[in-house]
Amino acid sequence: MSMGQTMRAPRVQQTRTHDYLYDNVHTLSSERDHARHMFKAHTSLDRVKKVPLYKTMFSALRHHPRFQMRLDTTDPVPRFISRQWRGYSTQAREALVRYKTFNYAPDVKLPPVQFAQHDVGGQDRYKFFRRPIIPFLQQVPPEVVLHTSKLDPFGQQEQVMMERSPTPLTRTVDVQTDYRESETQTDPYTPEYVVRPGSQPELLTLATLSYGHGLPAGLAEVEMIERARAKRAWEATLPSLNDVSQLEKRKRMMDEMERKEWALREQEIEKLQEARLELLTKILREREENHVELNSKRLDKLWSKKQKERERKVNWIRKEHIKAIRKLTLKRSQVEGNLERRDITQEYAKYESEVYGPRTRHGVFLDKGSEQYVVKSKYLDTYQGLLELEHTLPDFVTQPRVVAPRPKSQGKTGFIKRAQRRQNELDEIYKGIKDIKTKGKEAPKPLRFLQKIEKPIPRPPTPSVEVPDLVEEERELAIIFLQQVIRGRAIQNMMFEGKEKRQELINELRSTHALQSAEQQMKKQEKQSTLNLQRQRRLHQHKESFVDEAMSQLEGESAGDMLDFLSKELIRLQEERRIHAYAMLAERQRRIREAEESGRRQVEERRRREEDEIFKQVVKVHQNSVDTYLEDIILLSMDNTADKQAREEIQMMAQRINEVAYDMEDRKTELESEEIVAELVSTFLLPEVQKITVREKVKLQQRKHLLAAHKIVHKETEEVITQHPTPAKAQGSQGRTVGSPKPGSAKEGRSTPTKTSRPGSAAKSTRRTPTPTAGAPATPVTSRPPSGTPRGSPAPEGTGSPKPRPGSGRRRSDGSAAGSRSASPKVVSSATQVTQ
């Protein structure tokens, strides 16, 4: 017996819906990717749910669906989870690193990089272990579900299998690793180095630059390197300190270099101030935009709230209107008090009933939520779109190939009678049965679902590795490390030799191609102007040197005080600038805190307004409840008062009618009484006698048929008993036939007909008039014939007195029935005379 095996490919989920918010390892490249993932999460199909409809839950009709698709409005992400991109902190840190590197600001502190702490020996120990999947160690192979066999063990074992390609030995499937690409990214390798004694490589001056923080070098890094080279070249041209005659020249050169550095520093400070001003302007603009956006959102929210309240009130008014119309329709159908039960069979038989077309006033809205299914397409709204759509469809859609079969004989009118249709159906059934009988034994068909799958070749055993010696392993590691060091030094030497070989070319490129022609011309003009200024300054200094030598002794003290004052002012200016920078930072922090505080204050005010609105709505609900309660009490009191007054008026009217009837009874003559009695007898007694006579005639006509049936049955039974007599029955049936009526019984010569009751007779209380006998007084009859029967005509068979109307059996204070009091005076007086 062949075994079936179902191979199921593992379902690989690339990422979960909200990994960009919850997963700390999930890294996005930019804010645009974060927005894209957020949009995908909001438009995911997981939020679309099937909601069953209560009234058509078990319907199979297309126009009455049993469920509808709805979008779950509940946000699966809690409110306390941040929705912002997590890369802002990294960008801010990188900006601080660049600022500290390019501006030589050691006082700027970088925020430390925090990594998640894992307790390897504690609660996170399970993350570092995984049980391997060893083939054929488990009872059932992993990710394989074996299909159970449905073959008959006692039947034929030879089954024809469907031809299919064998299962391949290897397959390519997708897997999801435990690590991501972001974890494998590392910085470029920087080998260790040794400085040659007596040398100072220029490369060591760039040790502060690293990959991602200054490397690869940009325009700012190139300018910084050029300034450092120019400063080193200037330091090389300074006179020695041992030469006393060159001290003044050294001092002038140092003063000039200090002024240049201060000018450069001031330019950098101005650029920084401009950047801060731009940032401040941008922040203020964003704040204004946020205020405008917040106000617009607040207005939109208020408008939408008012719209929802309006829609809710309109829907409530519509529902109340439908409810009132439904109640009025129900009351109108029950004006006469005829209560009818629901006939479900009749409703489903009539296609115009509410089962197939429910009404809106009964609470069924057929077009509810129809705006969700509105399709707006150019292919459906325009004629050209319809033509284009028609061209894309195949021919069999617009030109059906199915042709309805014509009936064989339709007659002159084109209508097939029911007998002919039944005959055609019987002919088709007979033809099918005949084909089945004449058809030979069919060949066994191949199996459709159970397929044979080749058993894969067992995998070879897992190779094992011997544990090496610790000494050998340490020696091997040391050798590998030594090889790495040697290889790194060799590559470093190759790079150094290549740089030395191309040093002249590098210098030429630095000198000639550093700047463009226009910038070189500008540099030459600046150099010429600087040289002219220096020459003029030297001439002026030479002229004034003679005067300065004479005046230096006199002005030494004042010059010293002045220089002291200027140095203090310079220090004060520097401190003032530093304090100004700190003040700007403090002002920025203060504004940020004010913005946060204003946000919290706005949230509190919004919550306060929401609570006030909730309190107003609750008070409004209480007031509406009190108004409704008082309205119900007033309406109930009005109904009770009206009912009481109606009862009193009815009693007074009945009393007046009784008084009139009694007066007529007192004034009528004997001839009028006899006329009333004769009318009652001809109306009620004679029709009943006629009905009894008709029943007796029917019984006499049925008697002969019953006697013939009794004779046939008793004759056959008597023959059977005479052929097979029993002792007990032979003694008890002397001179009498089994099943024959007893002699002298009341049933001899007549058969009692079976009582037949008409449908609905059990539901009605029938009260018949007793059959009058000779010498018996006439019984007064106060019931009237059914509605629609003419006066004096016989009542239909089986019809008793009609149902009493609601309230007709209620007794009045004088002890008589309300129905008898409300009868005509003529009938009441006649019944009284007959009774007497």
Confidence of residue 405 (pLDDT cuts 50, 70, 90): low
Which two structure tokens, joined as six digits, stand for 556? 């030494």
Higher model confidence: residue 252 or residue 669?
252
Task: Return the closest-CA partner of residue 821 out of 662, 711, 679, 691.
Answer: 662
pLDDT reported for residue 409:
58
Report the pLDDT averaged over residues 266-290.
Answer: 92
pLDDT digits (tens, 9 = 90+) for 626-661: 999 999 999 999 999 999 999 999 999 999 988 888
How does residue 825 score in pLDDT terms, banded at 50, 70 and 90?
very low
Distance (Å, whole) CA 86 – CA 28: 8
- The 3-state DSSP class for residue 556 equals helix
pLDDT digit string, tens, across residues 199-233? 878 887 777 787 777 777 888 888 888 888 898 88
Q: How confident is the model at residue 809 (pLDDT cuts 50, 70, 90)?
A: very low
The pLDDT confidence band at residue 810, using thresholds 50, 70 and 90, is: very low
pLDDT at 169 over 80: no
Say how far apart CA 509 and CA 637 lie, in whole Å: 110
pLDDT(614) > 90: yes
Residue type, 201: P
pTM score, whole prediction: 0.23
Model confidence band, residue 729 (pLDDT cutoffs 50, 70, 90): very low
pLDDT of 287 reads 92
Percent of the chain past pLDDT 70, that is, above it, reads 73
Per-residue 3-state assignment (H helix, E strand, C coil) for 253-282: HHHHHHHHHHHHHHHHHHHHHHHHHHHHHH
Q: Which of 50-64, 182-196, 424-438, 476-490 has the lowest mean pLDDT?
A: 182-196
pLDDT of residue 435: 84
> What number is the average pLDDT over the span 119-134?
72
Mean pLDDT: which of 358-362, 393-397, 543-547, 587-591 is highest?
587-591
Question: Which amino acid makes up residue 18?
Answer: H
Rounded to 10 degrees, what is the CA torsion of 481, 487, 491, 492? 40
Q: What is the tens place of the pLDDT at every residue in 657-707?
A: 888 888 877 877 788 888 888 888 888 888 888 999 999 999 888 888 888
The string of DSSP codes covering 18-52 is THHHH-SS---SSHHHHHHHHHHHHT-GGGEEEEE
Q: Which residues pair with 215 in a beta bridge?
A: 211
Amino acid at 490: A
Quickly count: other Cβ atoms within 10 Å of residue 28's Cβ: 16
Tell me 452's DSSP state: B
H helices, E strands: number in the chain: 19, 6
Query: Tokens for 411?
Result: 């007659």
| 527-544: burial string, b at 16+ Cβ within 10 Å, e else | eeeeeeeeeeeeeeeeee
335: left (phi over 0), alpha (psi -120 to 50) or beta: alpha
Nearest to 647 by CA among 764, 781, 818, 498: 818
Domain boundaries, the chain: 1-85+117-153, 516-667, 668-718+816-836
Instruction: Round to whole Å and give the CA distance between 362 and 360.
Output: 5
d(CA 361, CA 323): 7
> Quick check: 310 pLDDT over 90?
yes
Confidence tier at 744 by pLDDT (50, 70, 90): very low
Distance CA(228)–CA(205), nearest Å, equals: 9
The predicted pLDDT at position 745 comes to 38
Task: Calculate mean pLDDT across residues 115-141.
Answer: 66
Could you give the CA distance from residue 100 to residue 106 in angstroms, rounded to a whole number?
7
Q: Which residues of 296-312 are buried (b: 16+ CB within 10 A; e: fewer)?
A: eeeeeeeeeeeeeeeee
Q: How far apart are CA 651 and CA 102, in angstroms?
A: 112
The residue with tokens 């001899």 is 748
Task: Give tens-digit pLDDT for 38-78.
Answer: 888 888 888 888 899 888 888 888 888 988 888 888 888 88
Structure tokens belonging to residue 202: 């220029």
Per the prediction, the chain carries an average pLDDT of 75
Cα diameter, the chain? 188
Question: From its phi and psi, is residue 798 left (phi > 0), alpha (psi between -120 and 50) or beta?
Answer: left
- Is 723 exposed, middle or buried (CB count within 10 Å of its CB: 0-12, 13-18, 19+)? exposed
Q: Which residues pair with 70 in a beta bridge?
A: 49
Q: How far apart are CA 782 and CA 820, in angstroms?
A: 8
Strands 67-71 and 210-211 come out as unpaired
Higher pLDDT, 286 or 465: 286
The packing angle between helices 670-680 and 825-835, to 10°, is 90
Per cent of the chain over pLDDT 90 is 19
Contacting residues for 2 by C-beta, under 8 A, at least 6 apart: 159, 161, 450, 452
Integer angstrom CA distances of residue 707 from 421, 699, 738, 742, 756: 44, 12, 15, 15, 19
Beta-carbon contacts of residue 221 (< 8 Å; ≥ 6 apart): 102, 209, 214, 215
pLDDT on residue 753: 39
- Backbone dihedral angles phi then psi of residue 71, each to the nearest 5 degrees: -95, 125
Burial 584-616 (b: 16+ CB within 10 A, else e): eeeeeeeeeeeeeeeeeeeeeeeeeeeeeeeee
pLDDT band at 142 (very low <50, low <70, confident <90, very high): very low
- pLDDT value at residue 523: 77
DSSP 8-class letter at 747 = T
Are 191 and 491 in contact, with CB atoms under 8 Å apart?
Answer: yes
Structure tokens at 306: 């008012």
Banded model confidence at residue 793, pLDDT cuts 50, 70, 90 = very low
Query: pLDDT value at position 750?
Result: 41
pLDDT of residue 76: 85
Q: How confident is the model at residue 440 (pLDDT cuts 50, 70, 90)?
A: low
Task: Tell me how far CA of residue 427 lies from CA of 416, 420, 421, 433, in angstroms.
Answer: 15, 11, 10, 10
Residue ranges of E strands in 163-275: 210-211, 214-215
The torsion angles phi and psi of 502, rounded to 5 degrees, stand at -105, 20
- Single-letter residue type at 262: W
Pairing between strand 144-147 and 48-52? unpaired
764: pLDDT strictly greater than 50: no
**For residue 151, what are the contacts with CB-CB under 8 A and spacing of at least 6?**
1, 159, 450
Rounded Cα distance between 51 and 67, Å, is: 5
What is the per-residue pLDDT for 184? 57
- 387: its two tokens: 């033509």
How many beta carbons lie within 10 A of that of residue 688, not counting itself?
A: 17
The torsion angles phi and psi of 270, rounded to 5 degrees, stand at: -60, -40
| Beta-bridge partner residues of 680 | none
Amino acid present at 122: G
| Residue 304 in tokens | 């939408």
Cβ-Cβ contacts under 8 Å for 58 (sequence gap 6 or more): 66
Please report the DSSP string for 478-536 in residue order. Answer: HHHHHHHHHHHHHHHHHHHHHHHHTHHHHHHHHHHSSS-HHHHHHHHHHHHHHHHHHHH
Distances in whole angstroms, Cα of residue 239 to Cα of each of 99, 257, 577, 734: 35, 14, 34, 171
* Position 164 confidence tier, pLDDT thresholds 50, 70, 90: low
Answer yes or no: is pLDDT of 174 > 60.
yes
Helix or strand holding residue 144 (H, E)? strand 144-147
Residue labelled with tokens 């005010």: 605
Is the pLDDT reported for residue 756 higher than 50? no
Query: Which pLDDT belongs to residue 9?
Result: 54
Which has the higher per-residue pLDDT, 300 or 216? 300
Split at pLDDT 50, 70, 90, the class of 314 is very high
Q: Is residue 787 over pLDDT 50?
A: no
- Summarize the confidence of residues 232-256 as an average pLDDT: 87
Q: Which residue has better confidence, 147 or 47? A: 47
β-pair type (210-211, 214-215): parallel
Residue 554: the pLDDT is: 76
Q: Could you tell me which residues come within 8 angstroms of residue 618 by beta carbon, excluding any fewer than 6 positions away? A: none
Residue 562 CA to residue 556 CA, distance in Å, equals 10
Least confident of 266-280, 293-307, 800-814: 800-814
Q: What is the pLDDT of residue 446?
A: 66
